[in-house]
Amino acid sequence: IFGPLDRLSPVILKDEWGPVAFLPMPYSEPARVRVMMNKLGMEEAEKVKTYEEAEKILSSRMLSLLPDEGEGMRKIALAHVYAAGGMSSESERPLSIGGYDQIPDEVFAPYDYTALGHLHRPQKTKRDSEKIQYSGSLMRYSFDEVRQKKGIIVGTIDGEGNVSTTFREMLPLHQVREIQGSFADIMAKEGSEDYLQIVLTDSEPVIDAMPKLREKYPNALGVEQDMGYKDDDGERRIRLESMSDEDIFRAFVSHFREQELAEEEEKLSQEVWEEVYRKENAK
């Protein structure tokens, strides 16, 4: 764990081929890098405006702290950034808007390997390269991540600085996952202590669903009901002026639910329309 930017320093370990330098680059807004530069008496701090410029300064600073033999030393960057080419999830705190914060791979060219942090999905910034990777978060932090594998990257580096990596999946005691089905079917399943998003597919509303579901799924975090309605595409293919109120209602249901009114629904809707007309005629 590394603290204030002006107190960072490389960590140097050794293997059978010699020293390997790990260079920390914590998440750093341009303003914080400017503060670091002023504290350290570095020139042209006022010119650092973008995340890319800030990361280049931070990298240059770390490389300058290597001992004299550092030129031929194998180097691994530890960087908390939003790297260009990375895919985010809904649980990550956005760093900025519009790609202004994205760091290109070229910033990490001086390193044999770059271990990235910030994005929760394990991924490479370039499909055909193992040199720059996110290991991702160890756990799922939102239901947007339920289909992501979680784990660690185990890497080896040889004497020439060539790196090979393997992703090892880790399974937590309680998973974060989504289950879907009718209320009756879900309640008939074996209970679970996983952290669940439950999607009910019943065609009729389920009253007090969550308290009932938590009797069997104590760690249920959310419940929603998918009654088959689709989003409005904005297109209108009907002529309202030539249709009765009842026909408009039937067309509305058919469009959004993609099925006609059931017999009981038709009966109930007729009762409602009769009540509406009765009140209108009474005015």
**pLDDT tens digit string along 235-254?**
656 677 778 888 888 887 77
Do 160 and 180 fall within a single domain?
no
Do 137 and 103 fall within a single domain?
yes
Residue 128 CA to chain centroid, in angstroms?
A: 23
Do 153 and 203 fall within a single domain?
no
Q: What is the pLDDT of residues 51-100, one digit of tens each?
A: 999 999 999 999 999 998 667 899 999 999 988 877 776 666 555 544 55
Least confident piece of the model among 70-74, 119-123, 171-175, 217-221: 70-74
Q: Which pLDDT band holds residue 230 (cuts at 50, 70, 90)?
A: low
Q: How many C-beta atoms surround the C-beta of residue 77 within 10 A?
A: 26
Do 13 and 68 fall within a single domain?
yes
Question: Could you tell me whether strands 176-181 and 195-200 are parallel, antiparallel, or unpaired per DSSP bridges?
Answer: parallel
Do 127 and 211 fall within a single domain?
no
Q: Is residue 231 part of a domain?
A: no
Q: How many C-beta atoms surround the C-beta of residue 255 within 10 A?
A: 16
Do 38 and 90 fall within a single domain?
yes
CA 36, CA 33: separation in Å to the nearest integer?
A: 5
**Domain span holding position 210:** 176-225
Instruction: Please check whether residue 183 is in contact with residue 209, taking contact to mean a CB–CB distance below 8 angstroms.
Output: yes
Do 129 and 219 fall within a single domain?
no
Do 48 and 87 fall within a single domain?
yes
Q: Is residue 200 part of a domain?
A: yes
Do 272 and 192 fall within a single domain?
no
Do 23 and 143 fall within a single domain?
yes
Instruction: Please give the backbone phi and psi of residue 241, each rounded to the nearest 5 degrees, phi first.
Output: -65, -20
Q: What pLDDT is attached to residue 98?
A: 47
**Structural domain count of the chain:** 3
Q: What pLDDT is attached to residue 220?
A: 95
CATH code of 84's domain: 3.60.21.10
Q: What pLDDT is attached to residue 87?
A: 74
Do 146 and 87 fall within a single domain?
yes
